[in-house]
Structure formats: structure tokens, C-alpha cells
Structure 1
């Protein structure tokens, strides 16, 4: 099979990129008075401005041509139809069904899954309301004050991020998250939690994930020490598919909320994995979250490629990564409540597209998986923006900005908006040596002192960015934002011809961890010399501490 990098569409883009490297983004504006409006796409008030990208109309047409060559529209329809896209595991990628409206029909591998999806959602809603209203009581008859979700990966990133983003709407029990097998995390919570008023949600599809079950058994022992085995059924519930294991743990099967193998972990916050969100903000807000995602799904499936927000975001990322050779993608939400968004997005992008073989198993001869990083603005300006502006490598940026701020603190929001828009403009415009000289002369500097200062104050500019405006950061727009980036990730995988829905790369380390554990028990595990030496140092360090 011919590599996409050898295809006509790819080669045309490569040649066009060589020409555009000599251009400046500001010059593209000078030649096209309508650029700001023409390089903008809108859905339900969500506005993507990509006019500050180093690309012209011809380049955009070439990118769309690449998408058509790769049959992107066909792949979108196949995902929407619930076909088996994850060939290595024989599974569909059915997460859009989790957002489906009541009464709708969506098939996954030929079966209408909506009755099952809504049956689980009704059970989740009912349980969440019982906890929120105080009807659900702990072993001592007291109401639940704290809820702790134990999970890792997709069973932690998604619900933790949404809980943080919607915390201004939280009106239920306090919700906490334990993910790391480092005992410092769970022990910090156990010091002050009240066992009589704490509900634990163990989130693991198989109920065998090592980190999750280690933490779950620690929480179980803590509860049993305070209240005995009989209390487990009142203080533990499970989001899982393994009924036998949850019953062995002591959880009542009536309090197991299932999800399905066509729900990938990093796409699972819309499923039973979202139970902590439901308990925190209530079913109405959770429905709004789903509705926003559903609107983005419908847009993704039906909008023309040239006006399709996820498609545009993905194609621009590929343009910067594969054709302009920019090594990473920075995402900077100017919204403190999106503090956990970057972690969720890193898992989504890097676990989905961190692949070096195509769907057919051939080694790729082009780069995949844009390394993605970032932080919230304006904090990020005082951390890594120095390298964005003056570092030797160009790192394209997605700026995300809600247009409405915190009520009563409008002045804060004005400053936030000013900083966001100024940073994107500064990345594009830069500052020439001549501009620096004029500025320094105005400050009274001259001669050798002036000239020595110039290089340190020059900004090369011509550094691309997108600006994504949200009307407000509520549940609906958050859902749309998350679905936007989910679909962006899928589009990239289609262009790169890789499977975005498996993650075999996480398995080898898990397997070798079992070998190390056997060695720690004194067994011969066939470890390499470096690992053996490190393990011996750890043993000695542990003995010295004891």
C-alpha cells in the first residue's frame, strides 16, 4: 500500500509549504481585507478564528483535498454508523451513542444500543438523586457528605476535568478523586474523611486495573476497620462490567453501573464513568453536557468539510506538524476552570494517535501524534510564553476564551480578554530590530548600549495560533468543546491512516511491572542489569529508612 506521504495531495502540500515558509502571516492580511471573516468558522456561537495561521486559501483547498483523498467523510459516516473501526480489538468507537437523545436510534456493530444507554443513564440519575437528596444513607444512618472516585486514565481524567470545569454549579456532596497508586494521595484523604459519610465509586471496566484496585482495597480496609464488612454495600458502588469481581469485593450488584467495550476509556466520561459528575452537579447539568456534545456530533457528521470545526482544527494541526515541521501543539485556555483540560486532552491525543504503524500494520514514514502541552492563561504567560515568543522552535497555540467571565468581577475578565488577544497578536506580529531601536531611543538609550540591547528584545513573530471563542463556560459549551477535540483527534488519525482507538503501548510497562514485583518477592524474573541494580538500591534505601 502506498504511503499517504507519497500521495499527490501530500506532495502538493509539501511544495506549497516550502513557498509559504517565505511568507508572513501579516502579509496575508495585507493582501486579503476579508481574511479575518473568511478564515473563521462558527457553530452555535462557538467561533474558531484561524486567520492567524500561516496558510492561504490555496493551502486550505489543498488540505481539504488531502481530507477527500483520505475519504474523511466516509470515515466519519462509518464511525457514526457504529462500524468496527478499532480493528486490532474488533470493536467500534461508539462514544457518540452515549450522547444520543432519548428516543433516537444509534447502531453499534449492527445493534441499536440506545435502549441500553438510556437504561443505565436512568439508573445513574436515580442513584445520583438519592445521594444528593440525602435519601441514600451510610451505615450509621447519616447522609453522604463526600464522594471519592477511584479510577485511573480515562476513568479519572474525564470526570475530574468536568467536575473542576463545572464546580461553580456543584450543589451536591463534595467530590474527590484518587488515581495514583502512590499511597500519598489516598492517605491524604483518609486523614480527614468521615467513614460514616463517605461514598466510594470504584471505576474500572474490568475491576482488575492494578492501581485502581490497590486504592480500592486500601479504602475498603479503612472502612472495615471503622464499621465492619456489612458497611461495604452502603459505602461502595462500581462503574464496571465485571459483576463477579464487584460482588467478591462486597458491592451490591444493584449498585453496578455498566458500560461497554465499544466505549474507549478516554472517551468514557459520557458513560457511567460520569457518575461523579452527576452526583456533583445533578442530572440536569449532566444532560446539558451531553446536549452540547451531541450538537458538536451532529455538526461533525453533517457540516461540509470546509466549515466543519473539528476537521479544520485537525487539518491545521497536520499542516503545522507535518508540513511546516512545528514539533508541538500548545493549548492555552483563558479560563481557570479549564485547569484540568490539558491533562484530559493529552491523554486523548497522545494515547489515541501515538502510533508508528498504519491500520494495516505498515511502518509510517511520516510523523504522527502532535505532542500537546499547555496550561491556563494568564498563568502560562509567566511560565512558558517566553519560549513561545523568542525560543528557536515554533509551537503553534490554540487559545480558548469564554466571552463571559465571573459575574461581579467584570474587570478581571477585561484584563483576561486583553491578555489573550494580545498574546495571539504578539505571536503573529513580533517586533523587528528597527521597532526595538525606535522604542529604545524613546527611552533615551543610544550608541553601543542601544545596539547591544536590540537582539534581546527582537521577536521574530510569524508564529501561528487559533483562537476559539466560547459564549460562556457552562455545561452545554463544555460538552461541545470536549466533543470538538475528540473529533479533531479522530480526523488526524484518518489522515495519518492509524487506529485512534487502541492503546497497546500502555501494555508492555504493565507486563514488566509484574516481573519487577516478582523480583521484589525474591523470585527470578529475568530483569535487565540496570533494573536489578536500581532495585537493589531501592531495597537498601528502604532498609536504611526503616
Structure 2
């Protein structure tokens, strides 16, 4: 850590702690100062961080930390296509997939998108015969992003019925088979390396299902989404149905690339393009805005404050909209795989908590399950609420009114608390929350929400001095699983006993 960064942390840790109530009482303009609205074509969102413990002194200290951490230079390097993924010696070009980045990366993305666009339109026109279903096989970022977007945007009137399968448990694949007619089903195999064992095993089983069902050319019904196109061709897929994406696009950042194929197939190309446009609007804000006015950076200031100063080891996210029910699960991978690290980019141990555990659920269900701990438990948990002004249903407006009332009430209750006449009914309050209130859950908004959190994650990484673009921790368990499969290596007594009990040896 540089001397300037150390001095900034001293200022941050030296700022006096004030209650949320005191912060509001001291500054009548607090809501205006700590809220901001971002716009994109057809809509926008309010980002309200006023119910966090950030104040002017903390913001100034965090701005000093950002400067000491070379935030501006590292942000510029990200968009310039420099090798910001230092451990793997490559760029992180996911923003270029939506049109923001180096000229060469953007041009490559546009060409690959055009290739995907042609295939999507051809399928919709019937060039591959009648296609009513797609089984999209992937895992991690190759599955979570498409699953989130499709669940949010294609609940009704989907052009193609998409089933995302990630789990190697055969029950998951069998459930998809049961919902699909093999004669009208395509298979998408999404794997960056085209070697991921769970994905390739599921893909082989999907081909066998097509064969058993009498499909004359099973490989003719498969589309590959990969950064290793030759491996897909060698596996048996015709190159016209191989949709590449760059090696510099990481899995959890990949839905903007050909990994978004199932999204475009489900909702149409124009809607997928709107997802990209919404993300691009956030890119431009993040790229061009400095200091506390940069909303993803401001969110990262709060994240760092609660994790590193107040020792909050978890962060909760609650989507008060059924269309965003999968958003907390998506953020779990984005944030924990990106920033769940223990060394800096220089290879030395970090000195403070890195990524907290991200968890959450959907309101109002969570209120009757986990909010007891949030209101009266002994663990401080910063909470993010996400809600939409426009409803996603056409039922009695009372449904959406009650939903939003509950969302806003929870934030107010966490902050204010309430003195009880007996200890069991006492609510301490002064518990932080932030709220993202979108105009509607449409394609551009889904893209904007995801991009906001991508940049928030990157900003956190810069402030911590870590690399958010590798994921070596994922590999150790895989390597040991391979050793179990091959019968090589020695294991502890417990693991040996489990292998023997399951008859894996």
C-alpha cells in the first residue's frame, strides 16, 4: 500500500461515527446530495445512498483514497483495452462488447455481434426449421447472465422458449428435456474454453437425447458460444453455428457477447440491443464522471466503509420485483468471484476485508424469512433494495402499491428503529440501506443495472488494490475432483471414507 493510500485510510478510519438520524438532522439537503439519477433511452433510475453512513468527510477521504489508488488511470486503462488482468496478462474487454472501449475491441465486438445477429434472424425466419425451444447449457457466468435476463424480460410472449441448464446433476437436464420437443429444440453449448467438464458432460447427454428421439443430425441442432471456436468445430459443430467471443471477455462479464445468444433468441435482436444500450449509458457515466458524483464509485465507497471500517462481512440485496428475482444470485458470482481475493495485484496479502458475502432474495418473501436478523440481530448488514415504479403485472394496482410500500418501509424501519416497552420488542435502528428505484424493468434497465454493478465491483477492486478479473480459487476444487476421478493422489481420511461410501473408487 502506498503512503498516500495509508494516509487516506487513516482519515477514513478517523472520521467520527454518526447515526443516520443525526446525519439527516444535520443536513436538510442530504437526500439531494446522496442521491443521483441516471438516464438511458426510454427510462432511468434513482440511486439513493442517503441512508448509508457516508457523509462529506468520508466522501472526501474516500476520494483521496481513490486518487492514491490511481482510480482514474486504472479506469482509463480498463476502457483503453490495456492488460488490466495482470495475473493472466490480458485486457478485460466486456465494455467493448456494448460499444465502450478501444477502437479495435469495439470493432471486433461489432463484427461478432453481426455474426450472431444473422444467425438469430435466420433461426427466427425458420432457416433451421421450426424452433420452439432452446436448451442453453453453461455454468457460472455462461448461465447466470442469460438466466437473469431471460427471466426478467421473457416471462411472456418469448419468441423461443429458453431453458438454462447449469447443474451437472442430471435432474436439471431431465427437467429441461421434459419441457421440450426434441424435433423443435436447439441446444446452445456455452463454454469459454469448450472444455468445462460440467457443460461438456451435459452437452453430450443432450446430444444423446436428440439421438434417442430420432433426430437424424443431432449436431445440426447445436450452436456453440465460445472463445475457442476451433475446439467447437473439432467437437462436431459446423462453423456457421459457432459464435465466438474474445478471450479477453471473462465468464461473469460475458452476457454482452455471444453468451447473450439465448437472450436475443428469446426476446429478439432489437431487445438484446437495448440491453447493450442501457449498459453503454452506465459505461459513459462511469467513464466520464469524477469523484463522488460517479455513482458506481460512490457505491464502492460505501461498500469499503462497511466492510473495512465497520467489519460488515455480508451485504444483502433484495429485489422488490419478481422480474429481478435472480439478481441477487447473479451478484453473488459477480462480486464474490471478482473480489473474493486475499492478495493485491503485487502479490502481497491484503490488509483489510475484501469482498463481503453477497446474499439476498426477493421482497416481500424475505421480510417473512430473514428480516428478523436485519432488524434485531447482532450483526450489522448493509442492505440494497431494488424496485420498479412501473409494475410488471396487469392485476389490481393494489399489488404493486403494497409491494413498494413494503420496500420503502423496510428501509425506513432499518434506519429509524423503534424503542420497545420490553427488550424483545426493541428495534435499535441506525442500520444502513441503499435503494435503486428504476422506472421500469425493461431491456435497457436490465443492461444498466448489471453494468452499474460491474463498475461498482471494479471500483471496489481498485480501492483494495486487487485484480477482479481472475478466479483461480475456482480451479482447486476442480483439480481435486479430477484426481478423485483418476484415482490418483492421497486424501484425508474423511474424504477417503466419502469416496468409498459413494463407491467412486
TM-score range, shorter chain: over 0.9
Aligned: 1:67 with 2:66: yes
Say if 1:3 and 1:390 are closer, same or farther in 2 by CA, change over 3 A: farther
CA distance in structure 1 between the partners assigned to 2:133 and 2:271 by the alignment: 19
Q: Alignment partner for residue 138 of structure 2, among 147, 151, 171? A: 151
CA distance in structure 1 between the partners assigned to 2:35 and 2:82 by the alignment: 32
Q: Alignment partner for residue 380 of structure 1, among 350, 360, 366? A: 366
Q: Is the 8 A contact 2:296 2:452 kept in 1?
A: yes
Give 1:189 deviation, angstroms.
2.2
Q: Is the 8 A contact 1:389 1:460 kept in 2?
A: yes
Aligned: 1:268 with 2:254: yes
Q: Is the 8 A contact 1:41 1:308 kept in 2?
A: no
Equivalent residue number for residue 422 of structure 1: 409
CA distance in structure 2 between the partners assigned to 1:465 and 1:153 by the alignment: 28
Give 1:246 deviation, angstroms.
2.0
Relative to structure 2, which stretch is displaced further, 257-266 or 242-251? 242-251
Equivalent residue number for residue 479 of structure 2: 511
CA distance in structure 2 between the partners assigned to 1:419 and 1:469 by the alignment: 14
TM, length-normalised to structure 1: 0.89
Aligned: 1:469 with 2:455: no
- Post-superposition Cα deviations, 1:268-317, rounded to whole Å, max 9, x if no partner, equal 00000000000000000001100000000000000122211110111111
Write the mapping of 1:342-381 to structure 2, written as runs, cut at 5 A: 342-381=328-367
Say if 1:469 and 1:248 are closer, same or farther in 2 by CA, change over 3 A: same
- Post-superposition Cα deviations, 1:310-366, rounded to whole Å, max 9, x if no partner, equal 101111111111112222111111111111111111100000001100001001121
Q: Is the 8 A contact 2:83 2:91 kept in 1?
A: yes
Aligned: 1:47 with 2:46: yes
Highest Rg: 1 or 2? Answer: 1
Give 1:208 deviation, angstroms.
0.8
Write the mapping of 1:318-357 to structure 2, written as runs, cut at 5 A: 318-357=304-343
SS at match of 1:360: coil
Q: Is the 8 A contact 1:161 1:338 kept in 2?
A: yes
Give 1:168 deviation, angstroms.
4.1
Equivalent residue number for residue 173 of structure 2: 186
CA distance in structure 1 between the partners assigned to 2:91 and 2:230 by the alignment: 25
Q: Is the 8 A contact 1:232 1:251 kept in 2?
A: no
Runs of at least 5 residues in structure 1 that lack an aligned partner in the other structure: 138-142, 438-453
Equivalent residue number for residue 79 of structure 2: 80
Q: Alignment partner for residue 28 of structure 2, among 16, 21, 33? A: 33
SS at match of 1:148: strand
Equivalent residue number for residue 122 of structure 2: 130
SS at match of 1:238: strand
CA distance in structure 1 between the partners assigned to 2:34 and 2:231 by the alignment: 53
Aligned: 1:292 with 2:278: yes
SS at match of 1:468: strand
SS at match of 1:539: coil
- Post-superposition Cα deviations, 1:478-534, rounded to whole Å, max 9, x if no partner, equal 111110000000000000000000001011111110111122xxxx43222221111
Give 1:115 deviation, angstroms.
2.8
Equivalent residue number for residue 140 of structure 1: none
Relative to structure 2, which stretch is displaced further, 262-271 or 373-382? 373-382
CA distance in structure 2 between the partners assigned to 1:72 and 1:398 by the alignment: 24
Give 1:170 deviation, angstroms.
4.5
Runs of at least 5 residues in structure 2 that lack an aligned partner in the other structure: none
Equivalent residue number for residue 13 of structure 2: 14
Aligned: 1:531 with 2:495: yes
SS at match of 1:498: coil
CA distance in structure 1 between the partners assigned to 2:276 and 2:229 by the alignment: 27
Equivalent residue number for residue 451 of structure 1: none
- Post-superposition Cα deviations, 1:65-84, rounded to whole Å, max 9, x if no partner, equal 21122111111111111110
Q: Is the 8 A contact 1:355 1:498 kept in 2?
A: yes
Say if 1:389 and 1:361 are closer, same or farther in 2 by CA, change over 3 A: same
Equivalent residue number for residue 197 of structure 1: 184
Q: Is the 8 A contact 1:146 1:193 kept in 2?
A: yes
Write the mapping of 1:395-474 to structure 2, written as runs, cut at 5 A: 395-406=381-392, 408-409=394-395, 410-432=397-419, 436-437=420-421, 454-474=422-442
